[in-house]
Structure 1
């Protein structure tokens, strides 16, 4: 049934109520012309029906379902019978910065079981959200996706109390590219005081792009479109033509990047003034509670893509550059010698290099600056493709987090069907969901004695599997060989600096 109208800063909206949860979908939080910053949408006076997801942000495979002018919308799920202001989970979707949307994440189950208010958002993707054109005459075209996300956060802060949420108890959360967005967003002066916790699942090893890289991408796209002499005309290029040019440039450029991806938040000096890891290290965010998670076999999905993703080649190249060919071979030998019977040593090495070790380093930065961190790894294999055949690879935790027990949910944008969960799926997913909701509510993801916080010397890692258990991160042959290679590299650097 329809809800009563809820007033917002733009106008009243009506949602739908089912099973004790009110859902408001496709709520406009901003509008933006192409390559311009988001601004508040035009207001309305009559109640606006918000019962269906809004238009997708333009992206490959969905240009026919996209609406460039009205894609900046968000979705809210809130318990109908809340008797107090509830904590808010603000979720930023992933998709390599080029795909995805809030419609893939139905927050009704989490809202009911929190209780909590769940918000998912759309932001501009691919060239529309990440192409840096401010050095080419389009003054506002820098970090537009980050600006979109900030606009959504501001809308939530201004309006969420009307939906039963507590604007002073917002947890930023995201997965994959969304986790990179959250880490960058958390460090911005514009976001200061607007959230109290952050949850990042599977943040890539490098969350930020250099301004020079972003400028190079922009130049190549303009050249591909034959617009180098008239960059402003890119605002009128038809979407299929723009995205096709971007795909061609991306294929040529991917191997030249530090992360194997063409897009991402950019250290532009204005929207993002500082390297995010430096902000964590200096202690500016020491009062922010942080949960960092990853999946055990992150790289399996990318190794099995056709052709294998560029980040595979880039990660190996970066490790060889850091430690030399001899160091790479030594690492690979240790991984082969210590591999589980079902483990691909090459995949495990790349997963550690690109995903697990950078997240642990970020945790160490935050802890050293006085912050509190919990670190987790998802080791369970969900009975759902692609995880059933590839193991706990990238996104396995996300599938369980958003499940409506006892079923996985459909993902319309990813074009992935849900399905029934096994008892093991339900057990692990329930633990993950309870941990996230407890973190959103109290700042602690589990009982302190069951999952202690990350601390220097101890470095506990929570393993989400059957059974849930804790292992020390800083033990084992693999950790030691990384540490030895790192010390050796530092010694050589000091020798070079000493002359």
Structure 2
């Protein structure tokens, strides 16, 4: 990303009206969007290229004058796909370690610092960017007076492919290291934007939520956030070093480098890395349904052991947690024919066999007990249900059970779907809660969401969701304070869950049959 710095002799009128904040690296100039001040692509770390390509993030290079932060910078290199729509005007590049900030405009001098919400986007650890329109934080700021920070971080081969088996130049979990660096930037700088560094909520969806559950167990992130929201987290999709080493060797094969020349990856053209990673990211889930090529890995450092185990041991950070899933998670993967999740009976059976092989200590009847909960497993519908529960629903419940033993926890299930999404058999599919959380409908080209109506209801549901998320960020309790249904904390004995729909309902243990089948022992890949 090129630094756009404005000296004292030019653009006086625009600089006088534009919001300026002073960070530890220099002053940044944003713009007004209605009553909200916006800054785009503020660096929180130096460009991780060349010898720093596979290294931990370093402090950004300071600048003089005011840096122009009105345009998006480079997004993390990735293989574009239909699952995560990204504006074609955005450019990829390695100078991608930056944050966007949305803050209330013209705060009074005496005003208290505002709660901060730090967003980690999803995309299977290999796709997406904080520059996507759906993640625009303006409406959250307008509704709740918070400061919203969107984090851009390394993805795929550069962020979540553990290449440490190839030599000392390669550090695992770089995407998580980037996120921790961004949270440190928030701690050190957010007061300049009107935010309270002592009240930070980290929230994310899908792999972004998987990062949240990983950070909840990472010693290095302790104290950097004070509440957490995990929307559809694949909390058990974390891999061991042995498996990661095998994937790293396959990556070298695809990029046509022998192990002895692995260091050449530091200077390899980024397009070549992206192309090889794109093949690998498709190949792994096709050959081994349910697995991803890129994901957090147990490295003995940032992640001392599997996050699910840390939760079970009572070693997650003592911060209030909201966690939940969508009723029909897997439907979107079927719609896009994505290999990321197994959505056919054969693929689901292959996944179950692989899980059993990963856990030789598990009694054979355990798999039989699990499959007994899905009498229609030989149909697409049954396969979708199994896939949803294995990837998202049961991992979320295992996390909630363990975390609630020591810290306040709330569980939700998002059931809301517009008539069009129901007709398309998507229902409350994966990621369909995002426009409700951000209040941003219509960010997709030719968005079909309201083709059969339902806008008024969706806006009402979105209002309730936003107010609950905002109340949680401000007070640590998701009380909408607008007459909405009271949402009691989750307890292992009752498993009280808020079902979010046209009308919210509170239900004890809505997934009781699943618990009976799956049990409380975590089942996942290693």
TM band (smaller chain) = 0.7 to 0.9
Report how many residues are paired: 474
In 1, Cα distance between the equivalents of 2:437 and 2:186? 22
Change (3 A) 1:410 1:64: closer
- Counterpart of 2:320? 289
Matches within 5 A, 1:129-140: 129-140=159-170
In 2, Cα distance between the equivalents of 1:57 and 1:476? 41
Gaps of 5+ in 2: 1-13, 81-85, 357-363
In 1, Cα distance between the equivalents of 2:268 and 2:172? 18
Matched-pair contact (CA < 8 Å) for 2:235–2:392: yes
The answer on 1:94 being equivalent to 2:127 is no
Q: Which residue of 245, 261, 267 maps to 2:276? A: 245
Change (3 A) 1:80 1:271: same
Matched-pair contact (CA < 8 Å) for 1:20–1:112: yes
Matched-pair contact (CA < 8 Å) for 2:308–2:399: yes
Moved more, 131-140 or 183-192: 131-140
- Counterpart of 1:493? none
- Counterpart of 1:351? 388
- Counterpart of 2:211? 181
The answer on 1:36 being equivalent to 2:55 is yes
- Counterpart of 1:473? 509
The answer on 1:153 being equivalent to 2:172 is no
Which digits, 9 at most, give the CA deviation of each residue in 1:439-466, with x for residues without a partner? 1001111269711101122111101101
Change (3 A) 1:91 1:383: farther
- Counterpart of 1:73? 98
Matched-pair contact (CA < 8 Å) for 2:412–2:498: yes
Moved more, 219-228 or 157-166: 219-228
RMSD: 2.9
Deviating beyond 6 angstroms after TM superposition, the runs of 4 or more aligned structure 1 residues are 383-387, 418-421
In 1, Cα distance between the equivalents of 2:235 and 2:224? 26
Change (3 A) 1:418 1:310: closer
Q: Which residue of 412, 418, 429 maps to 1:393? A: 429
The answer on 1:25 being equivalent to 2:58 is no
Alpha-carbon deviation of 1:324?
Answer: 6.5
Moved more, 107-116 or 206-215: 206-215
In 2, Cα distance between the equivalents of 1:30 and 1:150? 11
Alpha-carbon deviation of 1:363?
Answer: 0.6
Alpha-carbon deviation of 1:225?
Answer: 1.9
- Counterpart of 2:225? 195
The answer on 1:439 being equivalent to 2:472 is yes
* TM-score relative to the length of structure 1: 0.87
Q: Which residue of 349, 354, 373 maps to 1:331? A: 373
Q: What SS class does the counterpart of residue 431 from structure 1 fall into?
A: helix
Which digits, 9 at most, give the CA deviation of each residue in 1:376-405, with x for residues without a partner? 01101146779965111000111211224x
Matched-pair contact (CA < 8 Å) for 1:26–1:53: yes
Q: Which residue of 451, 455, 466 maps to 1:422? A: 455
- Counterpart of 1:300? 331
Matched-pair contact (CA < 8 Å) for 1:295–1:393: yes
Q: Which residue of 123, 135, 139 maps to 1:109? A: 139
In 2, Cα distance between the equivalents of 1:286 and 1:154? 17
- Counterpart of 2:412? 376
In 1, Cα distance between the equivalents of 2:422 and 2:179? 29
- Counterpart of 1:492? none
- Counterpart of 1:121? 151
In 2, Cα distance between the equivalents of 1:195 and 1:171? 6
Change (3 A) 1:422 1:271: same
In 1, Cα distance between the equivalents of 2:153 and 2:423? 27
Which digits, 9 at most, give the CA deviation of each residue in 1:33-65, with x for residues without a partner? 222221112111111111122211111138994
* TM-score relative to the length of structure 2: 0.83
- Counterpart of 2:4? none
Change (3 A) 1:90 1:476: closer
